[in-house]
Amino acid sequence: MEEAKGVVKHIVLAKFKDDITAEKIEELIKGYANLVNLVPPMKSFHWGTDVSAENLHQGFTHVFESTFESTEGVAEYVAHPAHVEFANLFISSTEKVIVIDYKPTI
């Protein structure tokens, strides 16, 4: 097996605060998705909610996946003003967040 050349997946698992409405979550998701248009190294964005029958999610209900061409692209994204502004809004709405970056193996 080998790593997909340079590609980095940025995974965010979110557990939103109990008082955050579905409308607010939808607004945050739209803002997250729009980062693809604002941050050049961000190549794609996908998201979904937990559907596992195992019930091992520990309260994390939403998964967000972004694709970057390199670890340098992730670093540029993290420091980008549009991401910093969005991240502050997002984090203030969550109880817990897990972030993992990895290089997929093909």
Asked if residue 1 is part of any domain, the answer here is: no
32 is catalytic: no
77 is catalytic: yes
Q: Is the dihedral of CA 88, 35, 40, 50 positive or negative?
A: positive
| Cα separation, 91 vs 94, whole angstroms | 5
Residue from 10, 32, 62, 80 carrying the catalytic annotation: 80
Asked if residue 94 is part of any domain, the answer here is: yes
CATH classification at residue 57: 3.30.70.100
H/E element holding 35? Answer: helix 22-38
Residue from 32, 77, 83, 102 carrying the catalytic annotation: 77
Q: Range of 16's domain? A: 8-102
At 58-94, the pLDDT tens digits run 999 999 999 999 999 999 999 999 999 999 999 999 9
* Closest of 70, 65, 66, 64 to residue 4, by C-alpha: 70
| Cα separation, 8 vs 35, whole angstroms | 16
Q: Which two tokens mark 61? A: 């209900």
pLDDT band at 3 (very low <50, low <70, confident <90, very high): low
Decide: 96 and 30 in contact? Cβ < 8 Å.
Answer: no
Predicted TM-score (pTM) of this structure: 0.91
